[in-house]
Structure 1
Amino acid sequence: MQKKITLHLVSEATGQTLDSVARACIAQFPNTEVHLRHWNLIRTQLQLRRVLRHIALDRGPVMSSLTDPTLQADMEAGCASLQVRLLDVLDNALHFLTEETGEEATLHPGGQYIMDENYYQRIEAMHYVLAHDDGQETKGLNEADVILVGVSRVSKTPTCFYLANRGLKAANVPLVMGIEPPQDLFTTNKPVIGLTIDPERLIEIRRNRLSQMVPSKAKIDPIADYAYIDLEKVQEELHWARRLCRRHNWPVIDVTRRSIEETSAAILDLISAG
């Protein structure tokens, strides 16, 4: 029988860091069902007392990223009183960096979210992705940090948005068999990276997309013989795209078994390798 637990995540800021750490760890325990409860922007003792009341009603371990010493002490006392385990995910890292830098941590809540140059760089990158999605504004490809190419539905757009959140201007250009790609793609001095995928997986993704577009009351299946999801046509389409990338020495990443995050990490590695 699968074990079930409630894991409380208590953060002074948006909780994104804490959520990422928790999910990365939870993935290593497939036989346990973990229900996450998020308690974000907890910055006062009144707010913390409310959280502790909820923890008392739905008991479970607590992961915290509180940096305020008073709140941290109250969190420890509250969890001890409720007899639930508490892990401060920042404590060891902060002590480690204090020893390495010789500088005391400022303990500023949400310090990574300040509106500095990096923040505005990410905003600018987001605007760039919106303007250069799916082959729009190809004249601006030389402003990109990276250009992604591939056939329809290989996750070019979501990957570009993820990269933009890392501060990279990412453009994507669709490859359509029988249609010549824009000339700017062949003259740019920016890195071009191809995305590919297993044909059967691509057909599955395309079927799901088409089913969302087809009226639910349709009496016939208009996508049954559609070339967009025909295995032979899709295989030909993917082979053509690979040959195009090979001809222009563009590296290709297979996204079949990769998440958007893993694909983006591979792209960043290729860019770093130059």
Structure 2
Amino acid sequence: MDVTGPMPVLYVISDALGETAEFVGRAAAAQFVGIKTRIRRVPYVRDEAHLEEILEEAVAEQAILVYTLVLKGLRDYLERRAAERGLKTVDILGPVIEALSKQTGMEPTHTPNIIHRLDEQYFRKVEAIEFAVKYDDGKDPRGVLYADVVLIGVSRTSKTPLSMYLAHKGLKAANIPLVPEVIPPDELYAISPRKIIGLTLRPELLNQIRTERLKTLGLGASADYANLERIMQELEYARGIMKRIGCPVVDATGKAVEETASIVLEILFKGERNG
């Protein structure tokens, strides 16, 4: 089929990547067989000056403006200035946002590129969780070199649950158990002590926790693992390692994982600011 007249031009304008608007534009153009539509995507439009430049070019081509702008001020500006120039506009997100706002009674955040930010946060969290599992309990000390934070301490000082909690915050956490009979990995001394957090508990509480742990395993409470004297020796050994490294130490006695994590995050934040 022969088609006369100028080639239709769509300007896809967005304060993010513009993928959504471009997809809609191409889907619409596909409905017109035999007409070749040119689509020009203009991403990351964040101010009126940029819009003015686009409008000047659009006038010359009599382009249709298809846009996904979440900043209401920019949407209003584009609509007004396009109308003054006789340009057609299609607001893809605006009507849906308005409908949702009326239905929920909530105001939208008007945050550009928010879906990509959420995607990034999600994938970072998944990656951090996988990291915590892979480098839990000193399985592979090489993880120390790539971790955002390394937790060290004797057995049952909440290293694993704390690692997982921090992973859900997007931090890659490795943890290394400190045992008198096992030399700590060299990797611990190869990274900044500001990335290492020592965990400790009162001996009596550790004794209770380990005793309960042995019961769940069907073992007697008299095992050396839960012996109070042995526990005190382990804690003293761990304190020596932590002092040698020069890392911060957190006493997790009487604290929920969330409380300990809050302290750890504050220490890391201060370390970044002072670094």
Query: Partner letter of residue 206 of structure 1?
Result: R
1:264 match: 261
- For 2:115 and 2:206, how far apart are their aligned partners in 1? 37
Q: How does 1:118-197 map to 2 (within 5 A)?
A: 118-189=121-192, 191-197=195-201
Is 2:211–2:221's contact at 8 Å kept on the other side of the alignment? Answer: no
Q: Residue 114 of structure 1: CA displacement?
A: 7.7
1:239 match: 236
1:219 match: none
Q: Residue 163 of structure 1: CA displacement?
A: 0.3
Is 2:214–2:221's contact at 8 Å kept on the other side of the alignment? Answer: no
- For 1:272 and 1:209, how far apart are their aligned partners in 2? 34
Q: Residue 188 of structure 1: CA displacement?
A: 2.2
Query: Partner letter of residue 189 of structure 2?
Result: F
Q: How does 1:208-223 map to 2 (within 5 A)?
A: 208-214=212-218, 222-223=219-220
Q: Residue 272 of structure 1: CA displacement?
A: 1.0
- Identity %, equivalent residues: 38
Q: Residue 113 of structure 1: CA displacement?
A: 11
Is 2:215–2:221's contact at 8 Å kept on the other side of the alignment? Answer: no
- For 1:204 and 1:263, how far apart are their aligned partners in 2? 19
1:23 match: none
2:103 match: 70
Is 2:196–2:247's contact at 8 Å kept on the other side of the alignment? Answer: yes
- For 1:246 and 1:198, how far apart are their aligned partners in 2? 18
Q: Residue 140 of structure 1: CA displacement?
A: 2.6
Is 1:122–1:164's contact at 8 Å kept on the other side of the alignment? Answer: yes
C-alpha offsets along residues 198-228 of structure 1, whole Å, 9 cap, x if unaligned? 11111111111111111xxxxxxx5242111
Query: Partner letter of residue 246 of structure 2?
Result: N
TM-score, length-normalised on structure 2?
Answer: 0.57
SS at match of 2:222: coil
Q: Which aligned runs of 4 or more in structure 1 are off by greater than 6 angstroms? A: 111-114
Is 1:147–1:172's contact at 8 Å kept on the other side of the alignment? Answer: yes
Any gaps of 5 or more consecutive residues in structure 1? 1-66, 73-90, 95-103, 215-221
Is 1:193–1:250's contact at 8 Å kept on the other side of the alignment? Answer: yes
1:105 aligns with 2:109: yes
TM-score, length-normalised on structure 1?
Answer: 0.57
**Cα RMSD after superposing both structures:** 2.3
Q: Residue 235 of structure 1: CA displacement?
A: 1.1
Asked which structure has the greater CA Rg, the reply is: 2
Distance verdict in 2 for CA 1:112–1:260, change over 3 Å: farther
